[in-house]
Amino acid sequence: MRIALYPGSFDPVTLGHLNIIRRASRIFDRLCVCVMVNSGKQPMFTLEERADMIRRTVSRLENVVVETSEDMLVKYAKDIGADIIIKGLRAMSDFDWEFQMALARKIIEPEIETLFMASSSKYTYLSSSVVKEMAKYGADLRDFVPREIMGDILARMGK
């Protein structure tokens, strides 16, 4: 069974993330979406809140599971038997850092491959930060995030 891991901070999950989840879930037997800590960012939602929001949006995808972890990415991948890490690429600006990290992971854990999936052109502009910026002003979020979680974001922003 081929297990792939799609890691990220997903603070919160966007339609861009969901697009990658759907497409990756068609390629692999099982896709584990893991909400992880990004020490460089101050999160709006806890790891569990973020995982719960993703679970609500992927409940119909039978081979997708959603977990949280504070571990190192390659260690977590190994623990769950995933030998593929999926990364979504929006633009060249994502590439530099992701490429460096993929090479570093390969040194630590040579058996694990990183696969880059190109963002759908519809969502290349979209990031969790864009969503938070829009939500601050109570904007309509329907073009940015799954409808199941729109209320959670606006409520957290006090809107």
Rounded Cα gap, residues 144 and 133, in angstroms: 11
Amino acid at 34: C
Minimum distance from residue 28 beta carbon to ligand ADP (Å): 16
25 binds ligand ADP (CB under 6 A): no
Residues identified as active-site: 17, 41, 90, 128
8 binds ligand ADP (CB under 6 A): yes
Among 45, 76, 88, 135, binds ligand ADP (CB under 6 A): 88
Are 104 and 72 in contact by the 8 Å Cβ rule? The answer is no
Q: Which stretch binds ligand ADP (CB under 6 A): 10-18, 59-67, 138-146, 151-159?
A: 10-18
105 binds ligand ADP (CB under 6 A): no
Per-residue b/e over 54-70, b at no fewer than 16 CB within 10 Å?
bbebbeebebbebbbbe
Adjacent-strand bridge partners of 5: 32, 85
Minimum distance from residue 37 beta carbon to ligand ADP (Å): 10
Q: Count the residues of the shown chain that bind ligand ADP, applying the rule CB under 6 A.
A: 18
Give residues 109-148 in contact with ligand ADP (rule: CB under 6 A).
Answer: 119, 123, 126-129
Q: Which residues bind ligand ADP (CB under 6 A)?
A: 8-10, 14, 16-17, 20, 87-90, 94, 119, 123, 126-129
